[in-house]
Amino acid sequence: MPDLHSQWLPEGLTLETRKTFVLWVSREPAADSDSRTVVLEGRMEEVDTGRELRFRSGEQLLAFLEECLKKEEEK
């Protein structure tokens, strides 16, 4: 897979994308939640594979991260 991120780096530098994740966290409370309730939701992407998850809880986020890291260890 071509490294699409290298185009933004200064010449001679490389970017290691294994075990790299991008995390987007929502700034808006969930529409169906009480305004006093803190809801962790957003999206996480594993950069080197493109796999992503839309999560609505910390448990979902951590489960996805754990699954991705276990697959990396199996390689």
| pLDDT for residue 1 | 47
| pLDDT for residue 40 | 85
| pLDDT for residue 32 | 64
In this predicted model, which residue has the larger pLDDT, 13 or 12?
12
Q: Is the pLDDT of residue 3 over 60?
A: no
Q: Is the pLDDT of residue 9 over 90?
A: no
Question: Could you tell me which of 32, 4, 33, 34 has the C-alpha nearest to residue 20?
Answer: 4
| pLDDT for residue 54 | 95
Contact status, residue 21 vs residue 43, Cβ threshold 8 Å: no
Tens-digit pLDDT profile for residues 16-71: 667 889 999 987 665 666 666 667 899 999 988 899 999 998 999 999 999 988 88
Report in angstroms the alpha-carbon separations of 2 from 23, 62, 68: 22, 28, 20
